[in-house]
Structure formats: structure tokens, C-alpha cells
A = this chain, B = another copy of it.
Amino acid sequence: MSLDRILLGLLREPASGYDLKALFESGIDFFWPAELSQIYRTLRRLESEGLLRSTQQPSARGPSRRVYSLTAAGRRELQEWLRREPVFDDERYSYVAQLFFMAELDDLEHTLAFLEQLREKRAAQVDGFRRVEEEVFRSTDESLDEASDEELHRHLTLRAGLLTSSARLQWCDEAIALLRRRIRQGKPHPA
């Protein structure tokens, strides 16, 4: 459902499936990843539903491109979606599930190592967000006041990712500290 709307949103400028995949990789997929094959199937469905139309176009290089653009109905659908109340999706976290049951291993050193791995990945993610924030936006409040409404909205979505990631990094640190303390105090772990 949301992939549909995201594609409509991106298609304010006409684009091919391949182009759209590139757009996902440059700043969409931190809140909505999508595979090319999925994009192609969805585009065809949206066309059959009358929300998109497409034309074959020769490519500067490579085979010919199928370029999609919004129909009036597509534009209406997009607006309708944007006016709807915030849509919450289910969230699933396998690594939290692993941690939930990890006492089962009776090996606090393993839990500690697990958390340290988590921490490293989160730190890299936070760095990534920060670099984007510094590059794409100048990120100070003054320059934000001069940004367009579009830039403002994009900035907000990026901040959502950054703040969430940062909180998770902090959680790792808190958890690691707790584990270290327990290991220091507690009985030595098996083997």
C-alpha cells in the first residue's frame, strides 16, 4: 500500500523503474526499502489501476526505457493519502527477540558480545545519518528558516531517522554498561 503511494510521490517527475530504484537508494530506503522487481510489478499494477501512464522511450545507453508519469487520478490518490492520519505499521525486531530469550544461553559474555556488535552497527548508522544531515542540509536552525517547505519536510524525516538511531546507540551503551557491571560482580560464566 505505502509503496504504491511512495511511487506516486516520487513520480511528480516522470521516471522509469530503474530511475526510481536509484531514488530509493538516495534517501528513501531508510524508511522504506524496495527491490527493483517489486518496483516494476507495482508500477505495472498502478498503471492498470489508472493511477499512472507509461511510454516507451529510447535510452541514451542500454535498452529502451518505460517511463511512468502520474495521471490526474494518481495525483488525487497521492493527495488523499497525504491528508490521511498518520499510518503506523507493525514493527518487528529480530535482534530484540534474540536478546529477550538470551538468558537461555546462561552466558553473559555472549550477551555482552552481542550488544557490542549491535553498538558498532548502530554507530555506523548514526554516522551515516549525520553525514547526510551535514551534506544535504546545512543543519543549523538559521539556514532551515531559509529552506523551502520541501527541504523542511525532508529535514524532518531525516531527523526522525537520526534521533531514533541515536537513541538506540545510547541504549546499547546503557546495556553494555549494565552487563559489564553484572559480569564483574556476578559468578564467573561457564567454560
Min CB–CB distance A120 → chain B (angstroms): 10
B86-A101 in contact (CB<8A)? no
- Does the CB pair B104–A79 fall under 8 Å? yes
Number of identical protomers: 2
Asked if A41 CB lies within 8 Å of chain B CBs, one says no
Nearest 10 CB-CB pairings of A with B: A167-B167, A87-B94, A9-B101, A86-B95, A31-B96, A103-B150, A2-B94, A103-B149, A103-B153, A31-B93
CB pairs A–B below 8 angstroms (25 shown): A2-B97, A5-B101, A6-B101, A9-B101, A32-B93, A33-B90, A82-B101, A85-B114, A86-B94, A87-B94, A88-B94, A96-B161, A100-B154, A103-B148, A108-B149, A145-B182, A145-B185, A156-B175, A156-B178, A159-B174, A159-B175, A163-B167, A163-B171, A163-B174, A164-B171
